[in-house]
Structure 1
């Protein structure tokens, strides 16, 4: 157990992704939510990719909190960027047409009590590795912005 804690500590210090669970790959961001969203947007667009939609998920959750009978504030801010890459999408869908289920791709930025996180879903092993690699590159660029 001590070795696992040491490895996780080194990964955090090195800016490596933090594996929050099997569903998401997350990175801590040393800055504000606004800076993080700008950095993510810039990292996506600088690759010639088009952001199809920016979901203001945190605002929606807060706006509907009372309507659904909750008093829990989940995020101070949270946005999700949806986009696609024609090159990578073609690659993964030529390998397996069922990979269409994963498109468009998304990267989220979330702020919980001043702790800003950038992340994306953990895709299945195999043909979707190209998508995971692209998203990792984008987020690594954003966290080093």
Structure 2
């Protein structure tokens, strides 16, 4: 049974996981390597990272202030960016798609398990954005 369990586990690491409204991919890379891979995949498409939100650090810093001692992440960042071409297309289809911009891809490390992911978007024109996010996330975990 052990020879079968290992390939199934390896397959699970490369397959997307789906929480409600979120797609994630596990990676064997370190948090630093995964964040570098995400940023490189974004920039490699000619896009600009507008902001990196250090969510993990903020939660760690403010835990005691809100009465919690739960450590959620060893590290967690969200990369926020937009695509002029894709954004124009989806907003020309429906100007209210502005509500989904900027787009974000997160990297999180919990107990040594690093994941890369993004939130799901509604059916219709926003699926173009979701496809872009999926390409970037997959590229980042493939490194």
Asked if these proteins are the same fold (TM beyond 0.5), I'd say yes
- TM-score normalised to the size of structure 1? 0.89
The structure 2 residue matched to 1:118, chosen from 111, 116, 119, is 116
SS of the counterpart of 1:123?
coil
Distance 2:20 2:113 in 1: 21
- CA-CA distance at 1:107 after TM superposition: 0.2
* Structure 1 spans left out of the alignment, 5+ residues: 1-7
Match for residue 30 of structure 1?
28
Distance 1:76 1:10 in 2: 23
Matches within 5 A, 1:1-145: 12=12, 15-19=14-18, 21-145=19-143
- TM-score normalised to the size of structure 2? 0.91
SS of the counterpart of 1:111?
strand
**1:28-74: CA deviations, max 9, x gaps?**
01111001000000000010100000011000000001111101000
Distance 1:16 1:136 in 2: 12
Distance 2:20 2:83 in 1: 24
- CA-CA distance at 1:75 after TM superposition: 0.4
Contact 1:11 1:17 survives alignment (8 Å): no
Alignment RMSD (CA, Å):
1.5
Distance 1:59 1:9 in 2: 30
Q: 1:37 to 1:102 in 2, by over 3 A?
A: same
Poorly superposed stretches of 4+, deviation over 4 Å: 8-11
SS of the counterpart of 2:67?
coil
Question: In proportion to residue count, which structure has more helix?
Answer: 2
* Structure 2 spans left out of the alignment, 5+ residues: 1-7
- CA-CA distance at 1:89 after TM superposition: 0.3
